[in-house]
Amino acid sequence: MEGAGYRTAAASTGREALDLVGRERPDGMVLDLKLPDLDGWSVLEKLRAREDTRDVPVLVFTAQEITPEALGRLKANHIFQLVLKGDIRRRELVRLVDAMMKESGQETAGQSSRARDERPSEEAGIGEAGLSPVQGPPRRGRVLIVEDHPDNRMLLADYLGAEFDLAEAPTARKDGG
């Protein structure tokens, strides 16, 4: 979300997401529940069990059918929002991520250019986390996208890419490799 000043990172597995979170705490997360190794439910519960990530806001983005029991489990893990894949348009997703970041204490699109210029992306440790930053103006806030399906990662990158810088973990490249 280039104009809003956020950076994003992408992980394609639950373990990769937890590894990235261990290296650099995100300011927010977009999480799929169906992941190939460690499912999103486990990622969410591990985030909430850790003192340093207990309050990371999470937007769940899933195609999984949500039963009343599952909804209760999500609420117990204090998610910010549940979004069903296919039910959202770009503008709405951007608005939800922006609201999530605002609720977590991150400034939104009204942040001054001076404040953005004071936080170059390299200071936040993107290189240390093994991520490849996309060149562009410095951003504030870090959103981690956890999605195993390459098409869905590309959709999220397309939806959020006009507003956020995109950095990807090596295993989450667009070619699926």
Q: What is the CATH number of the domain that holds 16?
A: 3.40.50.2300
Asked if residue 132 belongs to a domain, the reply is yes
Asked if residue 177 belongs to a domain, the reply is no
Q: Look at 28-37, 127-136, 146-155 and tell me which has the smallest mean pLDDT.
A: 127-136
**CA proximity to 44, closest of 136, 149, 141, 144:** 144
Q: Looking at the 3D structure of the chain, how many domains does it have?
A: 1
Q: Look at 9-23, 68-82, 98-112 and tell me which has the smallest mean pLDDT.
A: 98-112
CA distance 27 to 108: 12
pLDDT of residue 175: 43
Percent of the chain with pLDDT over 90: 36
Mean pLDDT computed over 15-19: 93
Asked if residue 1 belongs to a domain, the reply is no
pTM of the model: 0.72
Within 10 Å of residue 172's Cβ, how many Cβ atoms? 25
Give the range of the structural domain holding residue 55, as residue numbers without chain letter. Answer: 6-172
* Residue-averaged pLDDT of the chain: 74
Asked if residue 126 belongs to a domain, the reply is yes
